[in-house]
Amino acid sequence: MLKDAEIAISMDGRGRWMDNVFIERLWRSLKYECVYLHAFETGSERRAGLTRWIGCCNGDRPHSGIAGQTPNEAYGVNEHRPVEGPTPTSETLQLAA
């Protein structure tokens, strides 16, 4: 039916399931290292917390898949602007590792 309507199936290629593994790992880490550890009471608190976590993950945390560099270093982003508030601790960052 989909082929008759010329609709492309997103997971139809060989090895395509692998594409989803990386984003699932990101969401798992974000939930265990940020969301589940903090009782965000407002949307703006949640946004600030997630922004801090992503900033820390991209600017401060080395990744083994890119030779121990941070994503900002590996992809040429020189700017890391921290958001006010508590930053993730090294203990927090090790939870999902």
Q: Is residue 36 part of a domain?
A: yes
3-state secondary structure at position 63 = strand
- Does some domain include residue 25? yes
Question: How far is 73 from 43, CA to CA, in rounded Å?
Answer: 30
Q: What are the tens digits of pLDDT across the range 63-88?
A: 888 999 998 999 887 655 554 555 55
Structural domain includes residue 1: no
Residue 63: strand pairing partners: 69
Q: What is the DSSP letter of 69?
A: B
Domain span including residue 74: 17-94
Determine the pLDDT at residue 91: 56
User: How far is Cα 52 from Cα 82, in angstroms, rounded to an integer?
Assistant: 7
The answer to whether residue 2 is domain-embedded is no
| DSSP alpha helix (H) spans, 2-69 | 17-30, 43-59
Name the domain count of the chain. 1
pLDDT of amino acid 9: 65
Would you say residue 10 lies in a domain? no
